[in-house]
Structure 1
């Protein structure tokens, strides 16, 4: 094999990686579809007047953000069987990523709610709205606009992180690329094809997130508020997460 043949041979492997795309997307959709509603509930509980609920939610969020996703994967897939709780590979990946997604989204949503100007409550009172109605009809819609772009970015990150699921035998993109490389010894070709597949899905998503941020940014408060928002809900995944 020519040392540089991978430059033109990788497209031939993409069809073999497409089944793994389905598994990666399934895990991503499950993790975010379940994790974000949990994150919303946690965001509300972190500001709860109930001290027990508040501290439980804070501990959950901090642990979910502080424990690397790979460790969560091993805790679920290899740890739970010791407690007589056997979970298959794909549900294990879904559960681990759901924990992480809910923790990160909780902080994003909490920061987005905090970024809504307090004057909105005063305006709501002037209109005769109750506190609950003001929160439901005024604050939440504005917070949703603020949190949507970073949540889209988090979704893309969760899709990237599904590559770690190959370490617990989930047949996703990286798992299939490894199998192909092991059989053919063309690791550069296989992993280049995998990189292109990931990029082909993630880059359009990142462009969409940027478009959303630009589209909604002008409607989400003052310049000071925006700076505070981006400082609070910036890049959701830090190096220690992996």
Structure 2
């Protein structure tokens, strides 16, 4: 690696770091909103009443079946035709939140179903109501079981945030393309952008693996 390349990377790094910060912000907000909606959809899709369960299942299947890029284009370019215009940043957050909600609802639902039946029987023996059993027994333990998979999905959402480039949000990939357009050195700047992505995803993946091993020892 030449010294000149390292000097160029040092010059480009501040812009890419700004983009990385925006990518992380989009990811964090999308996960906060999407995981909350995912939990609601998981509970609704497991409900006994069909009028509650059926719409939740339909929303989940539509969200999982629609590519994240199509969802983003629909929110940003499609909603204005219906009289609702969103700025770039909220449009990206809404689109990724909906994608997150659809996928994590199934992850959470699987975790809720994995709670041992003995726990439910113990709650019933203690005279806990159905709502209290869900709130204090099923949901906490189900989320604990689903946590490693949810964290793995969070890494995927961080990677998917690069799709925001398609609507002009100045996140990491967009900043890299901007530098490439100005310098005509796309390979060099995209390699640097890739290293920034790896600097986040590799430690996060290691954390997920470690957490999964720890939880497996206690299950």
TM-score (norm 1): 0.85
Residue of structure 2 equivalent to 1:152: 151
For 2:218 and 2:68, the matched residues in 1 are separated by 34
Residue of structure 2 equivalent to 1:206: 205
Query: 1:146–1:217: 8 Å Cα contact kept in structure 2?
Result: no
Residue of structure 1 equivalent to 2:42: 43
For 2:110 and 2:201, the matched residues in 1 are separated by 25
- The number of equivalent residue pairs is 218
Query: 1:112–1:147: 8 Å Cα contact kept in structure 2?
Result: yes
Moved more, 22-31 or 9-18: 9-18
For 2:205 and 2:5, the matched residues in 1 are separated by 25
Residue of structure 2 equivalent to 1:11: 9
Q: Deviations over 1:110-152 (max 9, x none)?
A: 0000111122111222233233222222222211211111111
Q: Deviations over 1:194-238 (max 9, x none)?
A: 000111011111111111111112333xxxxxxxxxxxxxxxxxx
Deviation at 1:9, TM superposition (A): 5.6
For 1:156 and 1:171, the matched residues in 2 are separated by 20
Q: Does 1:95 align with 2:94?
A: yes
For 1:38 and 1:50, the matched residues in 2 are separated by 19
Deviation at 1:5, TM superposition (A): 8.0
For 2:84 and 2:135, the matched residues in 1 are separated by 39
Query: 1:6–1:188: 8 Å Cα contact kept in structure 2?
Result: no
More helix by percentage = 2
Deviation at 1:8, TM superposition (A): 4.5
> Structure 1 residues 6, 213: CA separation in 2 closer, same or farther (over 3 Å shift)?
farther
For 2:118 and 2:5, the matched residues in 1 are separated by 58
Divergent runs of 4+, >3 A: 4-11
Q: Does 1:141 align with 2:140?
A: yes
SS at match of 1:218: helix
Deviation at 1:43, TM superposition (A): 0.4
Query: 1:10–1:193: 8 Å Cα contact kept in structure 2?
Result: no
Query: 2:36–2:101: 8 Å Cα contact kept in structure 1?
Result: yes
- Map residues 58-77 of structure 1 onto 2, 5 A cutoff: 58-77=57-76
Query: 1:60–1:103: 8 Å Cα contact kept in structure 2?
Result: yes
TM-score (norm 2): 0.93
Moved more, 82-91 or 4-13: 4-13
Residue of structure 2 equivalent to 1:113: 112
For 1:134 and 1:125, the matched residues in 2 are separated by 8
How large is the RMSD of aligned CA atoms in angstroms?
1.8
Query: 2:9–2:189: 8 Å Cα contact kept in structure 1?
Result: no
Query: 1:14–1:197: 8 Å Cα contact kept in structure 2?
Result: no
For 2:27 and 2:203, the matched residues in 1 are separated by 16
For 1:203 and 1:41, the matched residues in 2 are separated by 30
